[in-house]
């Protein structure tokens, strides 16, 4: 099925930024999933893989088993589980997200914003 550990392991490692959401980035169907989408948008992260657990009950349960995390949304950076919406928000607020994206070779749009403000 689509929820096996092997398949999910491959899925979270296939792209640098991977999120599991209720809904899609274009049409999130949960406020917490939307928060993840908006944070990534703020940082200018456009190329990320998003999987809609509402489309696939096996995926919905499988990803919770894989990460041993009981809720959706789930965020993976560089193949590693980072946390849900609360943790991503914290990382966004304290600057950790900019740093983690930099490690992945992704330049956060917020750095360019700051540059404009300074000049």
Partner 1 sequence: GTIGPVEAAIRTKLEQALNPEVLELRNESGGHAVPPGSETHFRVAVVSSRFEGLSPLQRHRLVHAALSEELAGPVHALAIQARTPAQWKENPQLDMSPPCLGGNKKTRGT
Residue numbers belonging to the annotated binding site for [2Fe-2S] cluster: 30
H or E segment to which residue 19 belongs: strand 17-21
Q: 24 or 107: whose CB is closer to partner 1?
A: 24
- Using alpha carbons only, give the angle 36, 38, 109 rounded to the nearest 5 degrees: 110
Instruction: State phi, psi for 65 to the nearest 5 degrees.
Output: -65, -45
Count the residues of the shown chain that bind partner 1, applying the rule CB under 8 A.
Answer: 25
Shortest approach of partner 1 to residue 119 CB, angstroms? 31
Please select the residue that binds partner 1; options are 15, 32, 100, 109, rule is CB under 8 A. 32
d(CA 67, CA 51): 15
Point out which residues bind partner 1 (CB under 8 A). Answer: 22-23, 28-35, 54-55, 68-71, 81-87, 90-91
């Amino acid at each position: 099925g689509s929820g096996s550990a092997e398949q999910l392991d491959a899925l979270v490692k296939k792209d640098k930024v991977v999120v599991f959401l209720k809904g899609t980035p274009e049409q999130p169907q949960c406020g917490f999933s939307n928060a993840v989408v908006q944070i990534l948008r703020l940082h200018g992260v456009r190329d990320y893989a998003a999987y809609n657990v509402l489309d696939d009950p096996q995926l919905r349960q499988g990803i919770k088993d894989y990460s041993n995390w009981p809720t959706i949304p789930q965020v993976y950076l560089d193949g590693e589980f980072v946390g849900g919406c609360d943790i991503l928000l914290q990382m966004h607020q304290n600057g950790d997200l900019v740093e983690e994206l930099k490690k992945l070779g992704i330049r956060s749009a917020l750095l360019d914003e700051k540059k404009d403000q300074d000049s």
